[in-house]
Amino acid sequence: MRRTLPLERLEGIEGPAQGLTEPQADKRRSRYGTNQIVEAVGGGWRSVARETVKDPMLWFLLCASALFGLVGEITEAAVLLAAMLPLFGMDAYLHRRTQASVEGLSGGLASVARVVRDNASKSVPAVELVPGDLVIVEAGEAFPADGVIVSCDRMQADESALTGEAFPVFKEALPDLPRHDHETGVDGAHWGFAGTRALTGRARLRIVYTGRETFYGEIVRSALRGTHERTPLQREVAGLVVLLVVTAVVICVILAWVRIRQGHGLIDGILSALTLAVAAMPEEFPVVMTFFLGVGVYRLAKRQALVRRAVVVENIGRVSCICSDKTGTLTEGRLHLAHRLPADTMDEDRLLRLAAAASRREADDPMDRAILSTATGPDVVPEITFPFTEDRKRETGIIRGEDGLWAAVKGAPEVVMDLCDLTSEERKTWEVRTRELADTGHKVIACARRELDATRWAGGEPDRGFRFAGLLAFEDPVRAGVPESIEICRQARIHVVMVTGDHRITAAAVAREIGLGGPSPEVLDGDEMEERIRREGGAFVRGVDVIARAVPAQKLVLVRTFQAQGDIVAVTGDGVNDVPALQAADIGIAMGGRGTRSAREVAAIVLMDDNFRSIVRAIAEGRQLFANLRLSFQYLLMIHIPLVVTAAMIPLAGYPLLYLPIHIVWLEMIIHPTALLVFQDLPDDVRLHPRDGNRPSGFFSRRQWLAIVLVGTLVTAAVLASYDRSLGIGLDVDHARAMALLVLTVASAGMTAALSRLRGWAARVIVAATLGFSVAFIQTPRIAAILHLKPLHLDDWAVAVGAGLIASFAPAIGWFRK
């Protein structure tokens, strides 16, 4: 949760207790806007009505009801009008569901904030806050915007709304704001975030980001964008819809003409065409696609992956290669003192205090910070310091204490050894230890000490006569969970390549530690990689684990080489030099904490915690979403094939209409919520499963297409056979319709159960409701008469159940998951 702090937003603020004046607040509001984190989402009956009138089913019911009214069938007209009520209710519910992921975010936001203005504390609407405001937050209150904590007392915060972690987060004050002429990174422990809540203590918060610029606002903005952008798959679905609509119109015209020529009359011909048109209308496909994308954007945000372009919701689950930075993504991006090797006359604590004596407290040096934060005992502050320079490669401190005047030095091992009185054997021993540590990716320094004669010391830096004290080895620790994530990627056949500017020895050591490439990772320098691509082509990159000494242009070459091999490539980056590779990648992933603004702008995803583990979680979430979407489309295709074919074939053959308008309403009340709710609500499976081969597959495999056609054909045959069988017994059209509808609804329940495996409440409820309403509508004589049906016999039910089992056979054996 580390964020950059744009210092221009705090311009004119002299101290942690200073608030703004009202004129200052007005000026900043005109510059940065209001603190409107969640914009008002259209609601109420008018919004629902606007969405509902776009549903072609309602216009179909109105037209069909008008036709029945014209011919004097008042009962039929009234039933069709009454059928609009549950459709209105279902549309209203589904409309609200599409907005739930956005509107639900507003529940944890503060509506009022206590702010210091004109040297006085007062309550103002949270929407009026501006960058620079000083806000007081008490226990139990929500943080009203994103800001740095300038003072606090035992503050703990609940940040589960952003991180998903339920544990309290301890907060620390940052009283001295950085004073540089560029953006400065500030750790998450010093931030208060909109949408999170103070659990204990009291804090003063200096507002930095408001409105849509807060983490919370970015999630909302991405979710809204994710529901409106058109992606490649959406465009493909739109093309399919156009094709199906044109085909349906042609068939409807032919059907109307045939029915009139058969002597059934104009009304029958128009009604037949309308019924077939609604049955064939593929409106569920774009609706399901848009709905799933919106859900995906929100779920990825909960996985710390902030989606900036909805297209990655499609592609993130299809990633086959990840080109990852080392520092800050695979590792923590900080130096950690890992090993202490004291000389015989020293112990570890004395060695560390000696190194601390040669370190500067005021310098922003990561090695000095690591030493000083680890050292124990009384702080030894040097009287004089000779700082580290590239030509000298050492740092010396002069200390005057109770034990007299002495000097401490730390620096490059070979330089420090030159200052010491070591025998050749001793030096060789320490050089071997130094190489062993360096070969495992550690940064090694040596330390030494020398007593000084206060009466003879002239004040210069001592350069001989030191006693060697030992070695300190530092490392950039691997982030928690990275080795496990690398293993998950390996099992899922996702090729991970570490791209770093470090020396190949250091890079190889880190690769071995995280399990990348096993005990002997394949490491290439950037220049060597380019030369081999020119000489051999790009096929060899599939066997490379690490690219060391890489420059930005070589990272771009690597990305394009993988893409030329057919891979979907994700790239991580944090600097301006990573922008070309981020733009070229199928999915560019910028670091939200340490990434530059330019990297975040061109990336498709901003990783809020800079952790490789979050990338793997996002890929797993994307695969689950893609799998759920595919199941939903499979169901729609399987149920529409028999519905459309039987709706067209039976009237064309001269038989009475199979489906009346009220029957289409009944079937749509099953199909629409099943496609939208059942598969979207399947439980998350955040594991990464192996894909078939390294290359990303298409939306449906050949086996899946075969299974879809097979199931659709079998159900079509079952509906036609059951209709013909029942019609042949006394030419009872109502009995035949009931039988055909029962076969289709039981088949729908079977498809739903098999595809979803009854995981999730929606699957169980809809399967049970489908079967329950079928029994109620068909076996209740009064309801059956209104629907132009007749109750069925036991043998009819046996046939229908058999058809349902046939429909679930292919999904049950797993054909749809291969």
The helix (H) or strand (E) run that includes residue 306 is strand 305-307
* pLDDT at position 79: 63
Q: Domain coordinates of the chain in residue numbers? A: 3-38+116-221, 39-108, 227-299+619-817, 306-332+479-610, 340-471
Q: Which tens digits make up the pLDDT trace of 579-602?
A: 678 878 888 888 766 555 556 666
pLDDT value at 224 more than 70: no
Distances in Å between the Cα of 660 and the Cα atoms of 53, 741, 779 are: 22, 11, 18
Distances in Å between the Cα of 715 and the Cα atoms of 276, 742, 754 are: 18, 12, 15
Q: Which amino acid type is present at position 237?
A: V
> Cβ distance 613 to 479 under 8 Å?
yes
Whole-angstrom Cα distance, residue 735 to residue 733?
Answer: 5
Pairing of strands 169-170, 120-125: unpaired
In sequence order, what E strands does 365-442 have? 384-386, 394-401, 404-411
CB neighbours of 451 closer than 8 A, spacing ≥ 6? 404, 405, 406
pLDDT value at 576 more than 90: no
pLDDT value at 420 more than 60: yes
pLDDT band at 448 (very low <50, low <70, confident <90, very high): very high
Whole-angstrom Cα distance, residue 104 to residue 98?
Answer: 11
Averaged pLDDT for residues 367-385: 83
Averaged pLDDT for residues 702-714: 84
* pLDDT at position 77: 66
Share the mean pLDDT of the chain.
79
Q: Which tens digits make up the pLDDT trace of 188-197?
A: 788 888 888 8
Whole-angstrom Cα distance, residue 789 to residue 785?
Answer: 6
* pLDDT at position 297: 73
For 225-266, what is the HEC assignment?
HHCCCCCHHHHHHHHHHHHHHHHHHHHHHHHHHHHHHCCCCH
pLDDT band at 496 (very low <50, low <70, confident <90, very high): very high
**Winning range, highest mean pLDDT, from 78-87, 100-109, 653-662, 804-813:** 653-662
Closest Cα partner for 12 from 191, 214, 177?
177
Closest Cα partner for 404 from 452, 346, 466?
452
Fold of domain 3-38+116-221: 2.70.150
> Cβ distance 468 to 346 under 8 Å?
no
* pLDDT at position 76: 61
| CATH number of the structural domain 306-332+479-610 | 3.40.50.1000
Q: Which tens digits make up the pLDDT trace of 524-569?
A: 998 899 999 999 888 899 899 999 888 777 888 999 999 998 888 9
* pLDDT at position 546: 93
CATH of 340-471, picked from 3.40.1110.10, 3.90.76.10, 3.40.190.10, 2.40.160.40, is: 3.40.1110.10
* pLDDT at position 500: 84
The helix (H) or strand (E) run that includes residue 341 is strand 336-342
Whole-angstrom Cα distance, residue 209 to residue 145?
Answer: 6
- The pTM for the full model equals 0.61
> Cβ distance 130 to 210 under 8 Å?
yes
| CATH number of the structural domain 227-299+619-817 | 1.20.1110.10
Q: What are phi and psi of 262, to 5 degrees?
A: -80, -5
Q: Which tens digits make up the pLDDT trace of 627-681?
A: 888 888 888 888 888 988 888 888 888 787 788 777 877 887 888 788 878 887 6
Closest Cα partner for 674 from 763, 755, 761, 750?
763
* CB burial readout 727-763, b (16+ within 10 A) else e: beeeeebbbbbbbbbbbbbbbbbbbbbbbbeeebebb
